[in-house]
Structure 1
């Protein structure tokens, strides 16, 4: 998963051989055994997309660990402890980005995708990345991963969709191995060591990122206890900016950024943070209160019920620090919102927070079924408010959750048809058609929870 998807690089030379060896190294330097002395990936201004004259400060070639040709015998068995894609069902990350509440759902999708490159075909796992800013869709990406025979994990690209006001603004950052001579790119070595360098994105002319391992074997505070064996890496981006990330065993990407600035960190992961046993009664009560407040944004009595249920629940159970922080933050915002129009956003975020809390005890499909219901409620709220952009975003959210559930539905055709009609209506800003379809959508929501 790449959290810096919006940067573009233009004006760089591209060839398959150069990419595998480290992008645009000059032939003379390669022949002389130069350690990247002639390589220049130019700095790109993030806002304008203009390529400058300065070169990025790249690491010497001898420090890179991603230059050998990977072999993929069982590529979808991704068990690298620092990138265990095949073992994770869903990760919820939270934090603050651009002074707004930021939350992501990262889910392993059913099925695989075959990607052809350099005369071969590799089967990859598909990870769905969904980012919400202030509770609303901001970015969606489908990421493709495979594990090489030596245990390293390779990134085969991503389909990216960046949203503004509920609709796709651009697809910047999209790339795929085998297109435009792009190679797969190492995203995690088999056994990273301090000083290792690799490139999770390595397509000059479109996407590029260089990573240096700064520390290994670190303890970090996980959602429910200490996690040992984490690593810290330093990322160099196309605009010359840098960023630190932490990867932890059992979780993969664990945090991005730092306290005091933009920060995104794991709030809860399934299965590492799951707990056997039924949903606690006080969490069930909180869920009911959150649903009632979501259905009636700004209703004072409903907000008081959420506060009472939340205080009772967190006093009775251990709650991961980040989940507690984001729920309290959003509930305070709901309490301060007052009028219904201002309460819509906080009520949505509180409802999302409670679904996250439930992942501790319930399966991902069970929680995702109720996320379908959540977005169905939000669709009705935004339709009544006449907010076409929000409606379009709600339909997108429904489609994304359904993509995670569709494979297990006994009869998916009816929901498929309903969502296609909703998409067409949203694209045409036809709120009357959305209202007409709403009862059908509600009737198709799955109700059986395994």
Structure 2
């Protein structure tokens, strides 16, 4: 699964300036105001860190001259075996990122596909890893892309392009952002072998088509991961072709861990990653019970026997209350919100609202299940949930949403190599 590059196709979705950073908060981060947790470096809350790096230079930034580290021509002898700790593309099978852009909820699914692609560039035939990226806004598809990556012999990771489908109202609107190394220009370095403060590199470097320039701002940081502190992270700032600045955290075991665009109030963070966050046991019975009850509740909603439905929701909430303490924070919040919506639907005696909330519970359960089951197994379960969404949208005669549902079903089918029917 590739590592995402958040802010991928949002050039047409620019929002007004929404985020103003307080100087006291900046000073706290930049002067080490957060408690140090280890010799690995200061502990930084990821959201705070990425906001802060754009605001003022630290002493080590001022003393470190900027230098391009991507100017030598890379060679690729074993390009699909990645050993780069900060971009472990060949080892991560699926990543879920959650976040927001202003008032919209954001969700990214990044999945390593079981295939490689050869790209011809500079007289070489380079085998690349293939990663699928799917982006949602408020639960609806906005982008499906396929990315190509390879590791050079010096340990740096290079970006060989992407095929992008940007969606509006459930259908493909354009392919903005699509490019291919060799056909359109050179590949771009997406992660140096050993990044240092002041390093500058360009993951995309075809001005007029695609362009991103990254500057390393911090190294040797500790960030709050899904299951505890993650040491050895770096903080970078990325300048896009339109001049917008994007701040990112890359962390060992996760790759791109967080991305934020302060001027758009946009933030996405890794909620769970496989196999990094996989636990060594099977799905807990309470979680299995929650998933089974949610699946049954979707059909039971037709009865509109509200007293019975309310009792079922109460049992689901009680089950969650006994289990949630062991869940990564972003996934815990997602499930809690879904169950709150479920209770609200029962209170409102609204059948369709109840069914939508059940679907959201299903998605939340399957994200948590990524700690226990393979991405292929989880995606098979996600197909069932998206078929529920398709039924609900058909019943509402929502043509755009039906089209988007079908696009997502097709994307998941591509991931697991099955028919989406």
Structure 1 length-normalised TM: 0.75
Deviation at 1:210, TM superposition (A): 0.7
Root-mean-square deviation (CA, aligned residues, Å) is 2.4
Measured against aligned partners, the alpha-carbon deviations of 1:264-305 in whole angstroms (never above 9, x if no partner) come to 000000001011112111101111122234446696554653
Q: Is 1:101 matched up with 2:105?
A: yes
For 1:317-328, list aligned pairs within 5 A: 317-328=325-336
Identify which of 226, 230, 245 aligns with 1:227: 230
Cα distance change on mapping 1:101 and 1:303 into 2, 3 Å = farther
Q: Structure 2 residue aligned with 1:253, among 238, 252, 256?
A: 256
- Partner of residue 285, structure 1: 289
Aligned residue for 1:86, secondary structure, equals coil
Q: Which residue of 44, 59, 65 maps to 2:69?
A: 65
Deviation at 1:79, TM superposition (A): 2.2
Partner residue, 1:2: 5
Instruction: Supply the distance in 1 between the matched residues of 2:279 and 2:373 (Cα, whole angstroms).
Output: 9
Listed one character per residue, the Cα deviations across residues 234-276 of structure 1 (whole Å, up to 9, x for unaligned) are 1111222212100000100001117993210000000010111
Compute the TM-score of the two structures, normalised by the length of structure 2.
Answer: 0.80
Distance (Å, rounded) in 2 between the aligned partners of 1:303 and 1:326:
21
**Aligned residue in 1 for 2:164:** 160
Structure 2 equivalent of residue 92 of structure 1: 96
Distance 2:211 2:10 in 1: 8
Q: How far 1:347 sits from its partner (Å)?
A: 3.4
Q: Is the 8 A contact 2:313 2:342 kept in 1?
A: no
Q: Within the alignment, does 1:313 sit opposite 2:324 as a pair?
A: no
Counterparts of residues 203-214 of structure 1 (less than 5 Å): 203-214=206-217
Show structure 2 runs of 5+ residues with no match: 13-63
Alpha-carbon separation, structure 1, partners of 2:365 and 2:242? 38
Q: 1:136 aligns with which of 135, 140, 158?
A: 140
**8 A Cα contact 1:289 1:302, kept in partner:** no
Distance 1:303 1:139 in 2: 37
Residue matched to 2:182 = 178
Tell whether the 8 Å contact from 1:292 to 1:302 is kept in structure 2 after alignment.
no
CA distance 1:8–1:93, change in 2 (3 Å) = closer
Contact 2:198 2:215 in 1 (8 A): yes
**5 Å matches for 1:19-98?**
63-98=67-102
1:363 to 374, 380, 396: 374
What is the 5 A alignment of 1:345-424?
345-406=356-417, 415=419, 419=420
- Contact in 1 for aligned 2:9/2:143 (Cα 8 Å): no
